[in-house]
Amino acid sequence: MALKRRNQRRVEFNSSSMSDLVFLLLIFFMLTSTLVAPNAIKLLLPQSSSRTMAKQTVTVYINDKMDYFVGERKVADTQLQPEILLALGNTIDGTVVVRSDKTVPVQYIVNVIDAVNNINNETHQNHKVLLATSAKK
Domain limits of the chain? 47-135
* pLDDT tens by residue, the chain, 137 residues: 667 767 777 777 777 788 888 999 999 888 877 666 555 556 556 666 666 666 667 899 999 899 999 988 999 989 999 999 899 888 888 889 898 888 889 899 999 999 999 999 998 888 888 888 777 76
CATH class of 47-135: alpha beta
Residues 70, 60: contact at Cβ < 8 Å? Answer: yes
Instruction: Provide DSSP, 47-82.
Output: EES-------SEEEEE-TT--EEETTEEE-GGGHHH
What pLDDT does 135 receive?
72
Q: Which of 131, 117, 51 is nearest to 84 (CA)?
A: 117
Kind and range of the H or E run holding 34: helix 16-35
Number of alpha carbons in the 13 Å side-chain half-sphere of residue 85: 15
pLDDT value of position 25: 92
The pLDDT assigned to 53 comes to 62
Q: Which residues contact 132 (CB under 8 A, 6 or more apart)?
A: 45, 97, 98, 99, 100
